[in-house]
Each structure stands twice: as structure tokens, then as C-alpha cells.
Amino acid sequence: MRVAVIGTGIAGRSHLLDLVTNPRFDTCAVLAQRPGRAQLVAREFGIAAAFTNVTAMLEAVNPDAVVVATPPAVTPTILRTVIDHGCLALADKPAGARAAHLHELLHHDGATSVVVGYNRRYQAHVRHCRSLLHEAGQLIVQQVRCTWRAPFATRYNSTDTYRHTARFGDGVLLDTAGHVLDTLIYLGLGPVAIRDTRAERGGAAGADVAAELLLTLAGTAQGRIDIRNDDDSDADEWRIEITTNRGRLALARDTLTGFWHDQPIIMSGSDIRRPVDDLLALAEGHATYGATLNEATEVLELLDTARHHAEKAGDRKRWQRPRAKALGRLNGSC
């Protein structure tokens, strides 16, 4: 399969590595905004052609598939050009910044040729958790608690990526809460409804760097998503705890643990599929691991609601450093 890659940031380079190390792919072109950047990455990965214009690239190399690893605000327009050309497409999550950006694509003849690479779906322990929940029988979900922790303020102030230009509502709500909501939907814990949202500004352009979302899941269960900014460490941790009438399960980056049907559960999270393999699945008519455009749009619709709540509530700083750390720093941040 001949594949072109649009975008040479962290995500684009990760996909390029997956492509050039798989003999079933011929990576025929790479595209970046700046010619020098495109040529540099092309040389680094041994790719023959480098471009700065999407239409020119598609006409010149005529790829079978395209990986779109671009900022969410521009991804839908690029996707339309790609599927208009008849190519299969893998789009980095969330594939758009607002639900309206994807609504138009849903009715496109090529909509089913797009897969959205929400990362958790590719992890074996997340898929196993999904199977346990689906096979439980008469399952009653009682509570779901999700916690994500990372140095988010640093991310949205660094000029290394486009994120320093993100505004309020396009920070952790779009990047991280979207990830969490897709995982909850993938696990079968829907329908999901947003009851309230609070968010804290802190990015260079006003991006939200911490957030709290209150949810209703599976009809009646109460859910909560805490996205915590922690600039005092390099931690990038996440955890989803699910309490049901059948037992409890806890998903983390590296493990699935819990007690299910009176039996202990433990599974490593080391087995991760490559999102680019979904392009082969699309070509061969097989099921993909990533999200459909419909599923990606559902996530963005929930985020539109969360954003509305957050904007209505204003900037309320509800996260404080642990007291011991604050006293140790003596910086008055407590």
C-alpha cells in the first residue's frame, strides 16, 4: 500500500516510523507547511517526495492512503480533499475541533473510508476490559471515576507545538477529555451525558490546562473526569475506575486490574497495535480498531456541551497543590 503522511510533528513522525518499519507499506510522500521541514523529514525517513500543498501531493504521487496528523482545526478540510481524491485516510484524534466540522463529512460518499486514531482503542488491556463489560450480563454500572495527570500548563505554553496557540476550550477539554470520553464510549459505558464542567486557564493563549467534568453514564451511573495539571513532575498518568454490580475494574496506562465475578483480574498493557494497520484493514474490508467518523463526531458533540458549561461557569480554579508541597515551595500557591 502506497501511503503519504501529512504533518511532521510528534504524531506524524510516530506514524512515519510505524510505516517505514512495515514492509506492507510504501511511504511515498510527506507533507509539511514549511519546505525545509518537509525535505528534512523526508531525508530522515528515506522518503522520495516532500510537499507543502495537499492537492499537489495527491496529484503527483496518487497514494492509496493518507495519514492526516495535523492540528484539529484544519484536519476536516484536509480530510475532505483526501477522500475526494479517493484515498483511504487515518486521521489523528480528535479529527476536528467542533462537531460541526465533522458533520459535513458524515454525508460524504467517502466517510466510511476514514478511521480516527483514538489511542486507547489500540491497547489490548483496554479491549479486554471492554470484553469483560460486554460479556457481564445484566450489568449495572454504578460509578466511573477518571483521572488524568500531566504537566499540561507546560504543554500549552511551549512553542514546540501548535498547542501554545490554543484558546479556552481547545486545551485539555479537546485533547484530553475527548480521549477520555471516547474511551468511555468504546468501553460501552454510554450513553454519556455532560452534567457540568469547570476548566482552568493557563496556556499562552488562554488554553484550559485543568478541568473537571461531571457525567451521567449508562443511563443512571454517576461519572467524573478530573484532568489535573502537574507542572512539578514529568508524570503523564491516567486511570479509569469502574464500579458495577459485577465487581470493580481499574484501567491504567500499563495495566488492567480489579476483582470481577469474584475473581482477581490483572493484565499488562504492553500489547499495542499500530494505528496505521487500520489502513490495511480498511483496504481489505476488515474491522478497524480506531473510531469511525460517527463516533468521533459523538465525542465532539459532548465536548461542545462541556465547553458551553465551562464558558458559562467562567475560570474557576478548583485545583490546589497538596499542602505539604505548597509549604515546601513557600511560594504562596496554596
For the segment 11-66, what is each residue's pLDDT rounded down to a tens digit?
999 999 999 999 999 999 999 999 999 999 999 999 999 999 999 999 999 999 99
**Alpha-carbon 53 to chain mean position:** 26
Q: Count other Cβ atoms within 10 Å, centred on residue 149.
A: 17
pLDDT digits (tens, 9 = 90+) for 264-308: 999 998 889 999 999 999 999 999 999 999 999 999 999 999 999
- Of 241, 268, 257, 232, nearest in space to 147 by CA: 241
Mean pLDDT for the stretch of residues 83-97: 97
Q: Quick check: do 2-117 and 123-271+292-313 share a fold?
A: no
Residue 262 to residue 280: CA distance in whole angstroms? 40
**Alpha-carbon 223 to chain mean position:** 19
Q: What's the burial of 111, exposed, middle or buried (CB within 10 Å: 0-12/13-18/19+)?
A: middle
User: What residue ranges do the domains of the chain occupy?
Assistant: 2-117, 123-271+292-313
As a whole number of angstroms, the longest Cα–Cα distance in the chain is: 61
Q: What three-state secondary structure class fits 156?
A: coil
> Domain spanning 123-271+292-313 has what CATH number?
3.30.360.10
Q: What are phi and psi of 49, to 5 degrees?
A: -125, 140
CB 302 within 8 A of CB 192: yes
Q: Which three cell numbers stand for residue 61?
A: 504521487
With bands split at pLDDT 50, 70 and 90, how would you rate the model's confidence at 316? low
Residue 303 to residue 211: CA distance in whole angstroms? 12
Whether 94 shows a pLDDT value over 70: the answer reads yes
Mean pLDDT for the stretch of residues 170-186: 96
pLDDT digits (tens, 9 = 90+) for 136-160: 888 899 999 999 999 999 999 999 8
Strand partners, 229: 150
Q: What three-state secondary structure class fits 117?
A: strand
Mean pLDDT for the stretch of residues 164-171: 95
Architecture of domain 2-117: 3-Layer(aba) Sandwich (3.40)
Mean pLDDT of all residues belonging to the chain: 92
Residue 55 to residue 76: CA distance in whole angstroms? 15
Q: What is the pLDDT of residue 283?
A: 97
Q: Which three cell numbers stand for residue 22?
A: 512495515
Residue 325 to residue 319: CA distance in whole angstroms? 14
% of the chain residues with pLDDT over 90: 85
